[in-house]
């Protein structure tokens, strides 16, 4: 699908945001292995969390969508008949994780201690992403994970597992979560040591012990821990909100309001960086639901952004937002340097190269570094023809850039947005009437 985005001088409205993708995956997985029926309030119809649900269904877990049961924010609930870890059954065929790294890596951890063999497959993008990072620790615990050159298909041969203490060699919440989920089936206590904090939804949602020692986080889980059935609440996705926060911050005029957005401090680095660039983003009505902090956001056009340096410990907290922050940087006065972000090269696509290509096609001055980007901002963007490379965040970042270009921008592969944000194009049109043209 191709979308043409026309520039828009003024943005206003309350775009509907999708469910937080990271929390939605975990709610489905944890409810599936809980000891009874759970309700997930505000689940996601995005392709990635739906891949997780489809895989869990193939493992024998019943999910029932109840559009008649609405949460406080008006989103429908998903009911899950938890079977306990021991209740999962061998699937009839390979489990299709689609485009979703979280589905594949967390499921591999969950299935590593089950007494059957599962094959996990994915699309072309997922089949090119590194899986050795989970196969190594799961192998140390006693599971056998078959791969081809470190890539999917993954053949997870479940086995009795022993606990380990594992220090993360890359800052990855997916690897952390895979090891902790395997730890549920292991004998003894499994500990993951994080030199740099990554998103902490797994430990919050499972109520795991976290110790901070010498600046490192130690997250532990006891083998045999029962996950209690409960109500899980999924906030609106801050990673989806980021597209509108940047759009509002680079527009000539804007007032955009976003409600019920997850503000977990391990995810909200984008707010800190935008404020450091001079953005006018305000948070109100801060509250907690289901153990996750959330709030309402309001962004107004600040009348100019300035370049910043982004690097170090904040990077895992905004790793998914870097492509759209690069758009903000291209529109800011002065230089922005993004470093320590080499993980972007192994996301759904090489996002350093992909966003550099998009912005350069639109006339920006962008240089790639192995671990990031150097952007000389403030040169103005021109309309262009760009390729999203089947990556949802590149498609949506290109659309945000297109709003401030000097002419229409055609985005190929625009359908990728549905991986995390199926309503994106409608949401964009709702704040910038007449900007979105299909085809």
**Binding residues for ligand S3P, per CB under 6 A?**
22, 25, 102, 172-174, 177, 198-199, 319-320, 343
**Choice between 237 and 357, CB closer to ligand S3P:** 237
Spatial separation of the C-alpha atoms in residues 396 and 380, rounded to whole Å: 19
Compute the least distance from the CB of residue 152 to ligand S3P, in Å.
14
- What are the residues whose beta carbons fall under 8 Å from the beta carbon of 149, sequence distance 6 or more? none
**Choice between 83 and 133, CB closer to ligand S3P:** 133
Compute the least distance from the CB of residue 89 to ligand S3P, in Å.
25
Compute the least distance from the CB of residue 337 to ligand S3P, in Å.
21
Compute the least distance from the CB of residue 117 to ligand S3P, in Å.
25
Radius of gyration, CA atoms only, the chain: 21
Q: Of 144, 135, 137, 145, whose CA–CA distance to 164 is shortest?
A: 137
Question: 135: which strand partners?
Answer: none
**Choice between 22 and 44, CB closer to ligand S3P:** 22
Spatial separation of the C-alpha atoms in residues 278 and 256, rounded to whole Å: 16
**Choice between 175 and 271, CB closer to ligand S3P:** 175
The 3-class SS string of the chain reads: CEEEECCCCEEEECCCCCECHHHHHHHHHHHHCECCEEEEECCCCCHHHHHHHHHHHHCCCEEEEEEEEECCCCCEEEEEECCCHHHCCCCCCCEECCCCHHHHHHHHHHHCCCCCEEEEECCCCHHHCCCHHHHHHHHHHCCEEEEECCEEEEEEECCCEECCEEECCCCCHHHHHHHHHHHCCEECEEEEEECCCCCCHHHHHHCCEEEEECCEEEEEEECCCCECCCEEECCECHHHHHHHHHHHHHCCEEEEEEEEEECCCCCCHHHHHHHHCCCEEEEEEEEEECCEEEEEEEEECCCCCECCEECHHHHHHCHHHHHHHHHHHHHCEEEEEECCCHHHHHCCCCHHHHHHHHHHHCCCEEEEECCEEEEEECCCECCCEEECCCCHHHHHHHHHHHHCECCCEEEECHHHHHHCCCCHHHHHHHHCCCCEEEC
Residue nearest to ligand S3P (CB): 22
Compute the least distance from the CB of residue 306 to ligand S3P, in Å.
27
**Choice between 5 and 219, CB closer to ligand S3P:** 219
In which region does residue 2 sit, left (phi positive, over 0), alpha (psi from -120 to 50) or beta (all else)? Answer: beta
**Choice between 197 and 400, CB closer to ligand S3P:** 197
Compute the least distance from the CB of residue 170 to ligand S3P, in Å.
7
What amino acid positions are annotated as catalytic residues? 320
Compute the least distance from the CB of residue 25 to ligand S3P, in Å.
6
**Choice between 174 and 264, CB closer to ligand S3P:** 174
**Choice between 319 and 386, CB closer to ligand S3P:** 319
Contact 396, 406 (CB under 8 A): no
Compute the least distance from the CB of residue 198 to ligand S3P, in Å.
6
């Amino acid at each position: 699908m191709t979308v043409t985005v026309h520039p828009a001088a003024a943005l206003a409205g309350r775009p509907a945001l999708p469910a937080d993708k990271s929390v939605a995956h975990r709610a489905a997985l944890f409810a599936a292995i809980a000891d009874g029926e759970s309700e997930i309030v505000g689940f996601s119809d995005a392709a990635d969390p739906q891949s997780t649900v489809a895989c869990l269904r193939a493992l024998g877990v019943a999910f029932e969508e109840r559009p008649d049961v609405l949460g406080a924010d008006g989103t429908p609930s998903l009911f899950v008949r938890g079977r306990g870890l021991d209740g999962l059954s061998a699937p009839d065929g390979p489990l299709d994780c689609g485009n979703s790294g979280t589905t594949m890596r967390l499921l591999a951890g969950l299935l590593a201690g089950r007494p059957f063999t599962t094959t996990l497959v994915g699309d072309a993008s997922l089949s090119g992403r590194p899986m050795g990072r989970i196969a190594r620790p799961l192998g140390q615990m006693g599971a056998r994970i078959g791969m081809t050159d470190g890539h999917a298909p993954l053949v997870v041969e479940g086995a009795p597992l022993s606990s380990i203490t594992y220090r993360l060699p890359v800052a990855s919440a997916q690897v952390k979560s895979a090891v902790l989920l395997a730890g549920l089936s292991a004998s003894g206590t499994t500990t993951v040591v994080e030199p740099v904090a990554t998103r902490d939804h797994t430990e919050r949602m499972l109520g795991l012990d976290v110790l901070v020692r010498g600046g490192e986080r130690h997250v532990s889980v006891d083998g045999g821990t029962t996950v209690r059935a409960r109500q899980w609440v999924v906030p609106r996705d801050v990673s989806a909100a980021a597209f509108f926060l940047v759009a509002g911050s680079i527009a000539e005029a804007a007032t955009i309001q976003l409600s019920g957005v997850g503000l977990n401090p391990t995810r909200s680095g984008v707010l800190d960086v935008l404020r450091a660039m001079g953005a006018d983003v305000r948070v109100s009505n801060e509250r907690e639901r289901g153990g996750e902090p959330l709030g309402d956001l309001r962004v107004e056009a600040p009348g100019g952004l300035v370049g910043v340096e982004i690097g170090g410990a904040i990077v895992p907290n905004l790793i998914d937002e870097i492509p759209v922050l690069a758009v903000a940087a291209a529109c800011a006065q002065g230089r922005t340097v993004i470093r320590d972000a080499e993980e972007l090269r192994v996301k759904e696509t090489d996002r350093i190269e992909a966003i550099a290509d998009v912005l350069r096609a639109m006339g920006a001055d962008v240089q790639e570094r192995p671990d990031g980007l150097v952007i000389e901002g403030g040169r103005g963007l021109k309309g262009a023809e760009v390729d999203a490379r089947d990556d949802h965040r590149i498609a949506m970042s290109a659309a945000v850039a297109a709003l401030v270009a000097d002419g229409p921008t055609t985005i190929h592969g625009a359908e990728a947005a549905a991986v995390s944000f199926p309503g994106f194009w409608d949401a964009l049109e709702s704040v910038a009437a007449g900007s979105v043209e299909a085809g």
